[in-house]
Structure 1
Amino acid sequence: MAGVFEVFVDAESQYRFRLVAPNGTVLAISAPFEDKRAAAAGIADVRECAGTGLITDLSPAAPKVQEASTAVPAPVPAQALSTRPDHGRQGFGKRRTPAEASGTRSAAHWRPSAPAAPVRWTGAA
C-alpha cells in the first residue's frame, strides 16, 4: 500500500497536508495554504516532483572507516563457459548472422503476413 496525503486545518486556520506512510508514520508536512484548492495543487506538485527529485546532501562528511583486515581473499578458480550448467539457458555461444544481431531480417527471410492488430500503449512496462 502506498502512502496517503491527508489535508487538514492547522491552529492558524490554514490548510496543510501531510504525507503518512502505510505504518502511520508522518513523513512530511506541507507549508500553509490559503484554501483546499491550493493544498490540492501542492499535493499534485509533490506527486510530480517526488519521483524525479535530486538529492542534495547537506550533512557533514562521515569519518573515513579504517580497513579491518588487509588480507587478500583467495582467488576464485576460473571456469570455462561451456562447463557452466546455466550456459545453455542464457543463449551464450549461439552464432548469429549480422541481420539477426541487429534485429532486422534480410529480404530472403521476409514473408508477407497478415497485418498485426494495432497496439495500444497503456503506460505499463
Structure 2
Amino acid sequence: MAGVFEVFVDAESQFRFRLKAPDGTVLAVSAPFEDKRAAAAGIANVRECAGTGLITDLSPAAPQVAAGAAEHEAAARVSALKQAPLPARADHLRQGFGKKRTPSEAPGSPLRRPAAAQARWTGAA
C-alpha cells in the first residue's frame, strides 16, 4: 500500500500537505501555500522528485574503530581463506559447471525463442 498525501489548513490559515505512511506515521510536512492549487502543485513536485532525489549526509561522522585492530582482523580473514582452498566437487563436471554452452546445446533455454514462434508486428495495438 502506498503513502497518502493529506491537504490541510494550518493555524495561520495557510494550506499545507503532509505525507503519511501506510501505518499512519507522518513522514513529511510541507511549507505553507497560499491556496489549494499551489499545494497540489507542491504534491506533484514531490511525486516527481522524490524517487530521484540525491541524499546529502549532514550528520556527524561515526566514531572510528582502532585502525590496527580492523587491519589485523581483515588480514586474519584473508590469510584463512588463502590457507584452505576449497576442493573441486566431482559432480560439477557432470552438471556442466565451467563449460560454455552454445545455443544449439541448450534447447530448453528460456533465453532462446523457438524458430517457429516468431512474433510479427501488425501495427495494431
Structure 1 length-normalised TM: 0.65
In 2, the alpha carbon distance for the partners of 1:118 and 1:7 equals 47
In 2, the alpha carbon distance for the partners of 1:70 and 1:43 equals 51
Q: Which runs of 5+ in 1 are unaligned?
A: 98-110, 121-125
In 1, the alpha carbon distance for the partners of 2:29 and 2:85 equals 55
> How much is the aligned-residue C-alpha RMSD, in angstroms?
3.4
Alignment-mate amino acid for residue 116 of structure 1: R
Bigger proportion of residues as helix = 2
Give every structure 1 segment of 4 or more consecutive aligned residues whose post-TM-superposition deviation is greater than 4 Å: 111-115
Q: Report the equivalent of 2:47.
A: 47
1:12-27 maps to which residues of 2 (within 5 A)?
A: 12-27=12-27
Question: What number of residue pairs does the alignment pair up?
Answer: 104
CA deviation after TM superposition for structure 1 residue 59, in Å:
1.2
Q: Report the equivalent of 1:37.
A: 37
SS at match of 1:5: strand
Work out whether 1:77 is the aligned partner of 2:81: no
In 1, the alpha carbon distance for the partners of 2:22 and 2:44 equals 19
| CA deviation string 1:37-78 (max 9, x = no partner) | 111110010000000000011111111124479452432533
Q: Which runs of 5+ in 2 are unaligned?
A: 104-114
Q: Report the equivalent of 1:65.
A: 65
Q: Report the equivalent of 1:8.
A: 8
In 1, the alpha carbon distance for the partners of 2:90 and 2:45 equals 54
Work out whether 1:116 is the aligned partner of 2:116: no
SS at match of 1:17: strand
SS at match of 2:57: coil
In 2, the alpha carbon distance for the partners of 1:82 and 1:40 equals 65
CA deviation after TM superposition for structure 1 residue 119, in Å:
8.7
Alignment-mate amino acid for residue 99 of structure 2: G
CA deviation after TM superposition for structure 1 residue 116, in Å:
1.1
